[in-house]
Chains A and B, each alone.
Chain A
Amino acid sequence: MDAVAFYIFAAVVLASAVGVVVSKNIVRTAVCLLGTLGGVACLYFLLDANLLAAIQLIVYAGGTLILIVFGVMLTSQSPWVGFKPTRGQAVVATIVALLLAVGIITLTTTADWRPSAEGPLAASPKVADVGNSLLTTYLAPFEVASVLLLVVMIGAAYLARTEK
């Protein structure tokens, strides 16, 4: 059952990622990205990372993606503006990406991941565990991240303001 679900979600993720790469229209690219993000959220559910799946859906699909679509709508003259790469660029990029994929796959699958790659070792963390370690072990990064978000908020507002 889990295997079937994994293959379905992996197919959704890969198909929409391919859609992101090949689609010419930038709005369609963003919609394909929605498929990838949703598929990855489903994979998180499969991996017992419920909190992360929900965060992925809220922040990525509900926030970042809408921001991106918003950006597209504010910065394009017509829906059909295409910026096609030249054929040479596309070929080179494809070859590099293929090499990269082959390389990473061979490296990661042959590597000896020490703590047994056979199955889950311990019970997966619950929401409360994630929250606790976020406010104890990882308190400093958490605070830095919140300061970063504040800086980003002010910076984005400053950058995007209209010149008077």
Chain B
Amino acid sequence: MFEIGLNHYLVLSALVFSLGVLCMATKRNAIGILIGVELVLNSANINLVAFSKYSAGAADGHIFAVFVILLAAAEAAIAIAIFMNFYSALRTIDVDRGDELRN
């Protein structure tokens, strides 16, 4: 309990992952879904860094985490741009109304 090991980080990461999935499933605001994705990516990063420290000890995990952060930033930029188009077309960013794009 007082000796922090790999499992502690894995459990924390699993919980954050599930909360991220829950966030993606329950929010209908497109930006809320984006925030859920950020949670999921963060949980993955916790895992990568924890494995890097508790198993390999090399920089590999850190580098993967850097790439994940980079991709998250890129993804957020594109997503916000898409949401702004979505908003200018429909005056809302409720994803349940995204099917109206078909018309």
A21 to B54, CA, bound (A): 30
A108-143 CB contact bits vs B (8 Å, 1 = yes)? 110001111111111111000110111000100100
User: Interface residue count for B (Cβ, 8 Å)?
Assistant: 77
Judged by DSSP, the binding face of B is helix
Question: Chain A residues with Cβ under 8 A from B78's Cβ?
Answer: 152, 155-156, 159
A29 to B50, CA, bound (A): 27
Question: B: which residues have CB within 8 A of A?
Answer: 1-12, 14-23, 25-32, 34-36, 38-39, 42, 45-46, 49-60, 62-63, 65-67, 69-74, 76-78, 80-87, 91-94, 96
Seed contacts A113-B51, A125-B62, A130-B66; 13 additional CB < 8 Å A-B pairs: A10-B12, A30-B35, A49-B49, A56-B45, A93-B25, A93-B26, A120-B53, A130-B59, A148-B71, A148-B74, A149-B74, A155-B81, A160-B81
